Amino acid sequence: MVLNGLRGTTLDVDLRIEPERDELLRAIARLKEELELNVELASPSDFVPVPEGWEDRGRYVRRDGRLTTYHYDLYAQALAKVERGHAQDREDVQALIDAKLIDREEALRAFERIEPELYRYPAIDPATFRRAVEEAFGKDPGG
């Protein structure tokens, strides 16, 4: 959200490293302490099923030497935020919509694609999640 210019600050950085490499993990641990920033090795797929092809929808951020950085699929991020349902998450999802980084109808289709896989995430109540998705991505309240 910060890198997309949709929020000025963050409490933590969630990241996924592929492939995981010890030297990178050690460097992240050092930077975490140096920058006094909470870093979590987490991605949307740790919390909700993600739509097939998420790897291809990652938005390029930058390349530093052999390290290339991408945003995780924004639809997967949005669905994970809707499922979590905190106030900041709801604001983030609305900011993604307002910035036209995600589309309401495509977000609903993404949910429909992952809905059959919800049984793999027993902490999620499918009916509650569906209601939250419909509320977040249903008809545009401004139009």
Q: Is residue 38 part of a domain?
A: yes
Q: Is residue 79 part of a domain?
A: yes
Please give the pLDDT value at position 17: 87
Please give the pLDDT value at position 13: 85
| Contact (CB, 8 A) for 37 and 13 | yes
CB count, 10 Å around CB of 88? 13
**130 torsion bin: left (phi>0), alpha (psi -120 to 50), beta (else):** alpha
Q: Is residue 53 part of a domain?
A: no
Looking at the structure of the chain, the number of domains it has is: 1
Q: Is residue 51 part of a domain?
A: no
Q: Determine the Cα–Cα distance for residues 107 and 57; give it in Å rounded to an integer.
A: 13
Please name every residue paired with 71 in a beta bridge, in sequence order, or none if there are none: 59
pLDDT, tens digit, for every residue of 78-95? 999 999 999 999 999 999
Is the confidence at residue 1, as pLDDT, over 80? no
First-to-last C-alpha distance (Å) of the chain: 25
67 band by pLDDT with thresholds 50, 70 and 90: confident
Instruction: 127-134: list long-range contacts, CB under 8 Å, 24+ apart.
Output: 129/48, 129/82, 129/83, 132/82, 132/83, 132/85, 133/79, 133/82, 133/107, 133/108, 134/108
Q: Is residue 30 part of a domain?
A: yes
3-state secondary structure of 37: coil
Please give the pLDDT value at position 136: 97
Please give the pLDDT value at position 55: 83
Is the confidence at residue 112, as pLDDT, over 80? yes
Instruction: Calculate mean pLDDT across residues 51-59.
Output: 86
- pTM of the model as a whole: 0.84
What domain range includes position 28?
12-45+68-137
